[in-house]
Structure 1
Amino acid sequence: MADSQESEESVSFDQLGDHRRSILETVRGLGGEANAAEIRQRTDVPEGSFGWHFGKLEEWSLLEDVGRQNVGGGDDAIVWSLTDAGADLLERIDVEEGREDRPQTFEGLNNRIDELETDLEAIKTEFNRMADIVEDHHDRLESL
């Protein structure tokens, strides 16, 4: 890409790739802003290419460097923020993949998991109630 001012609209899903997509989704999942150390811990991006992927995302205006944060020992970590263009691209990907209704943050995902666990317990309870009814009917039929 010769033009370093490419917009998110000119970045194809294939061009984005799995690693850069993972970075964007992780930043979104952490509330739209995260330091590089947090992102590194939550993605499978090889350490040697980490900076290059961030450079491309910044070049494409999908992420922006918004400061530094001390994360203990060594240099401060760069804090990255998801831009509107980055959020729009992820939203387009979600729509394309039919996942536009999924929670956008890790907290939202945890809440959804809690809801699903509650639903599952209700289904188990109803299943057991129905199994008892079937067993009772079976016993009645055998006694006839």
Structure 2
Amino acid sequence: MITTPARPAGTGVPGYAQTFPRTPAAAGRARSLVSTALSAWGHEELGYASLQIVSELVNNAVTHTRSSAIQVVISRERFRVRIGVIDRSLAAPTVRCPDENAESGRGLVLVAALSASWGYERKQWGKVVWAELTGEEK
């Protein structure tokens, strides 16, 4: 099992990162990481939306990639919080328009509705899918 402890980001921007095995249990662990970061930064008001967003992004990585591990990163600049999920797949995330009877396909629609902005960055080795939320100025 690949798990690394949460660690501060080395960029000068407050942040945390943790690597998890690509299993369904990663979503719960990612929610714990995000909750801890928000609490440390005093941004508990972003809790519900952030936990939903990280769950959807992690579940997408678990479902749609073949990576053995995924990494969750969360960073803050002033009152903006960014949550990212990193995987080794080069496939772009796709927003679907499921009908009312579909059992899946609403994840990125939910991410878009709950976040101030979202997107992805393609890398040579995979991608980072991210969402940003705006909190109260501290």
- Give TM-score, length-normalised by structure 1: 0.25
Higher strand share: 2
